[in-house]
Structure 1
């Protein structure tokens, strides 16, 4: 049986490993971390991501891990609500927040029940193993070598596999970082879990109830060179949040956890593959945090990869594997997925530019706020229409194998 090595057990790597293992393909999934409890993992599943999991037969698995649907999206300018848009915005399912660590654990556990699956946690990949111009495996930091007919890099935006394969990442100009805070959620917020985007006083931030019980998240946009020395965050936020949250933030004090600083990297590799090697997910195209596209596009990458790879890899005799056919499949995977990635990044940049315009131009912000009862419904209709590609997906992603 041909062997696949997948490096990185995030949503992309874990779901693709499970899909391959279910089809009887030998898969080794390698993860540098010993567990899935990273400081930050995105939680937002759009209808497109939920559909991808459903196609993989993972609806029931999703129900076993902490998850929470969003109730609505709200936009606030200068203490006045511009509009509220209730989920599911015409979709079959509402945007849902899911706790990634238990989801990934459940995916790996499901794959471990398959005879051809090997799980290697707490093991870093040091380099690629080459035979002439072809990748034929990986060198691990512990000195072990794992040979493979195909290596898949799903190891995120700082991908070691991408670097070792010398595949360029063309990045977009860096405009923001994000400080990510957690604090106790206000009473009653869980029952009406709105994703609130706030623009006030030259600041843009979002707050919502996460998948974790009783926890509010706050994402605070800053410039990359902005200092983040310790300050009274509770008092700062209390001057900016919507009026209903002011008392809660004033009382929050030390309950606000120190923030995690996320360096926002957005870009795309012109080429996702070498002979015997494929990049997918954030390794090939790190996404902006705008509208939570990363995990959703990663799941759709896994579907495309499975469709093209399983028919070639599902052979009992490794010597019968045609390397040329395999490499052609890698080209087709990029060709299929790249148009959606390009368009999604354009839509994310467009939405981010509108937020930046509101942040910079106080007169515009004040005008929209003052006339929100009149302009709010129109802005809402336009916004909902523009969200559909980012929610439903831009191209077809249908699991066929």
Structure 2
């Protein structure tokens, strides 16, 4: 069997990539070792930039319908309510350039269900219970050995393989790419999804001075569940239902029997790690296979989705539109520095919160929204203009949403797998297939080519600059 792209791992990263490729008409085989989608809430915060990605992928209505804004934090001590505060900075309301100004809470299992449903609408599917058990590659292809749930082994070749199989990535080890990291916090933690009585669902409840370490219970929107997070200053977490109930009873005013059901539980030790490279030959690393984050700041899932979003259009241009294979080199060049910066943010937030004794986690705002992530100075960011003001929009920046004079907004035009040529101060020139054109004067005079992932690739005042950029990304008149 041959497939243009083999994706290993059907978490948020693999599902996003498979979905993006499907809408581009690129066949991909998505395999997942587990028998079904991941069942837990783990990554529950969707940052503003990720919501824009999900809008483009056609799932934002389901995401918004299933989730909710983050609740306020409510502290407890000795069975009494204490301070109540907002973990989030909510200061972008009314900004027309940011359609989704606040982080949105949605349990990871539900995000994955929505992505999988959309993938199936587009004719794709995930093959569960299928593990990658061998891998070789040469200059022409990747050959993978896949073992199914019945133990049957088959060989699959692919033009490219993407490792989206998590922090313990089998693919990363097979390719021999090292990952260097550190323990962010020596204390292990317990995370669980549970149902309980005796606690309201209006707030995110925290017991910062609980014996044994702080405990948090967060109501998960669209469900009857709470997500439990408990850090252990001594000992190790017991993930059994009895162990989860005992932890709740020991650290809160709730009795063990208040926990009526434990739906999922896991333990982990917060780490930060980064792969040396995001590519080895025809194999790419994405998501946790490339970078591992502390949960502080809600960065891991979001960075992973955007890895896939960056890689998807480039694979599409190479495999469907004849773009030079060198276009794929830009994936590592763009995403590895972003992942390194995000790791610094999540690690610093975790340690800052630990420095308060868990009493009040550090507020999240502009640093964590990922709206400022961009690729200025990257290999696909070309800006030929001079004399720009300090706050000018530049190649490599996220294209901000903008109201259009004829009604609607720019993101309505950007939505889809195409490029968009925006002209300011005049009408846009004719463009090749795969490029939409429109006039928007809000960005100033010039021509701005917006990549399929919503970043400015080229910014120029000379139409002659367009053809060279078009050729580099597989666009031809």
C-alpha contact 2:190 2:268 (8 A) present in aligned 1: yes
What is the rounded CA distance, in whole Å, between the counterparts of 1:227 and 1:251 in structure 2? 16
Among candidates 300, 310, 313, match of residue 307 of structure 1: 313
- Once the 2 structures are TM-superposed, how far is the Cα of residue 9 of structure 1 from its aligned partner? 0.9
Among candidates 273, 276, 279, match of residue 285 of structure 2: 279
After superposition, the Cα gap between the structure-2 partners of 1:27 and 1:208, relative to the gap in structure 1 and judged at 3 Å, is same
- Once the 2 structures are TM-superposed, how far is the Cα of residue 205 of structure 1 from its aligned partner? 2.8
Q: Deviation digits for residues 71-128 of structure 1, max 9, x if unmatched?
A: 224566897745512756124444322233344234233323445x454221111111
What are the within-5 Å matches in structure 2 for residues 42-53 of structure 1?
A: 42-53=43-54
SS of 1:34's equivalent? coil
What is the rounded CA distance, in whole Å, between the counterparts of 2:160 and 2:244 in structure 1? 48
Among candidates 200, 220, 228, match of residue 189 of structure 1: 200
Unmatched runs of 5 consecutive residues or more in structure 1: 316-320, 366-378
The TM-score with structure 1 as length reference comes to 0.78
RCO (CA 8 Å, sep 6+): is it higher in 1 or 2?
1
C-alpha contact 2:142 2:160 (8 A) present in aligned 1: yes
C-alpha contact 1:127 1:139 (8 A) present in aligned 2: yes
Higher helix share: 1
**2:401 maps to 1:391:** no
Among candidates 158, 163, 169, match of residue 148 of structure 1: 158
What is the rounded CA distance, in whole Å, between the counterparts of 1:207 and 1:113 in structure 2? 35
After superposition, the Cα gap between the structure-2 partners of 1:186 and 1:96, relative to the gap in structure 1 and judged at 3 Å, is farther
C-alpha contact 1:2 1:25 (8 A) present in aligned 2: no
What is the rounded CA distance, in whole Å, between the counterparts of 1:128 and 1:73 in structure 2? 47
What are the within-5 Å matches in structure 2 for residues 224-373 of structure 1?
A: 226=236, 228=238, 237=248, 240-241=251-252, 246=253, 249-250=254-255, 252-253=257-258, 255=260, 257=262, 259-315=265-321, 325-326=324-325, 328-359=326-357
C-alpha contact 2:197 2:259 (8 A) present in aligned 1: no
Among candidates 186, 189, 201, match of residue 178 of structure 1: 189
SS of 1:145's equivalent? strand
- Once the 2 structures are TM-superposed, how far is the Cα of residue 281 of structure 1 from its aligned partner? 0.5
What is the rounded CA distance, in whole Å, between the counterparts of 1:302 and 1:195 in structure 2? 34
Between structure 1 and structure 2, the one with the greater Rg is 2
Among candidates 85, 107, 126, match of residue 99 of structure 1: 107
Unmatched runs of 5 consecutive residues or more in structure 2: 93-99, 375-397, 400-413, 415-450, 453-477
- Once the 2 structures are TM-superposed, how far is the Cα of residue 176 of structure 1 from its aligned partner? 3.1
> How many positions carry a matched residue from both structures?
363
Q: Deviation digits for residues 131-181 of structure 1, max 9, x if unmatched?
A: 2x6651311123211111110001111111111111101121252322123
What is the rounded CA distance, in whole Å, between the counterparts of 1:295 and 1:54 in structure 2? 16
- Aligned partner of 1:15 in structure 2 is 16
Among candidates 152, 167, 170, match of residue 160 of structure 1: 170
After superposition, the Cα gap between the structure-2 partners of 1:189 and 1:339, relative to the gap in structure 1 and judged at 3 Å, is farther
RMSD: 3.4
What is the rounded CA distance, in whole Å, between the counterparts of 1:146 and 1:99 in structure 2? 33
C-alpha contact 2:13 2:164 (8 A) present in aligned 1: yes
After superposition, the Cα gap between the structure-2 partners of 1:199 and 1:297, relative to the gap in structure 1 and judged at 3 Å, is farther
